[in-house]
Homo-oligomer: A and B are copies of this chain.
Amino acid sequence: MRPVTPSPSLPPTLRRETVDGVVLLTIDRPDALGAFHDDLWDGIGAALTQARGDDDVRCVVLTGTGRTFTAGQDLAEMAAPRQHDDGRDHGYRGFMPVLEEFDKPLVAAVNGMAVGIGTTLLPFCDVVLASTEARFKVPFMPLGVTTEAAGSLLLPERMGWQRAARMVFTASWLSAAEAQEAGLVLEVVEPDALVPSALELARTIAAMPLDSLVTTKRLMMAARGDAVRAARQREDAEFARMVGSAANAAALASFSKG
């Protein structure tokens, strides 16, 4: 595996390596449990854009480090969206369109806790592998907000309506085995086998003709039409209304104490 000199667009919290047509992206922010912040969103977005434009890349693997995959969106930046100088959105809002249009196979290797966006990102991955130590939670209700990243559409699609509803409405944890039974995760492996298993799958995929992979991924995405983008945009509007509301402030205060 060839370590890649970080491009200026990649933050220190994101590692990038390549091998045999596969890009391995590793979220490396152990001090903040892999929480997403604007620079990390921007970094993953830049890495996906780079991978999309590079004909030598045929598959991308996303993983985390230590005990967490990602602890979700950094609460401090949740209520303060920023723009780049050219008007593009920083952070989540800038990232989602890149993810929604990413047209090469994408594999997730969930190594530990996947909270909030760490879980709602997973339905954008074509295959999700998880370590036995992975755990999954979407704490939108206790935080006084709602689903994001088209989770209102994609969690029911992946898990079935009932499991998605129970997970969202109760904000309960799923173990790796429960996530597999629910369809959120395809395979659960021992921690040491996680990244090797993901890379083995990715290299098998990356041995296929590029045009076939890209065309097929586009056709699969086209088959669900604009529903994903529309769901995410409905959510974003509600999220903006709810963040900073009295209920959200009370929920956050209670959450910090409790």
Contacts and interface: CB of A to CB of B under 8 A. Distances in A.
Interface of A: 105, 123, 126-128, 140-147, 150, 152-153, 156-158, 160-166, 168-172, 183, 186, 201, 204-205, 208-213, 215-216, 219-220, 222-225, 227, 231, 234-235, 238, 242, 245, 247, 250-251
A162 B128 contact: yes
Contact of A146 (B128, B215, B234): B215
A234 B220 contact: no
B242 A211 contact: yes
A166 B242 contact: no
A100 to B, nearest CB: 14
B212 A140 contact: yes
A225 B140 CA distance: 22
A171 B206 CA distance: 12
B227 A162 contact: no
Q: How many copies does the complex hold?
A: 3
Contacts of A165: 105, 126-127, 220
Contacts of A157: 161
Contact of A219 (B123, B147, B209, B245): B147
A249 B123 CA distance: 34
A141 B201 contact: no
Given A105-B169, A147-B216, A157-B161, 20 more contacts: A123-B161, A127-B162, A127-B165, A140-B216, A144-B211, A144-B212, A146-B215, A150-B223, A152-B222, A158-B162, A164-B220, A169-B213, A170-B201, A172-B204, A209-B251, A211-B247, A212-B247, A215-B238, A215-B242, A223-B231
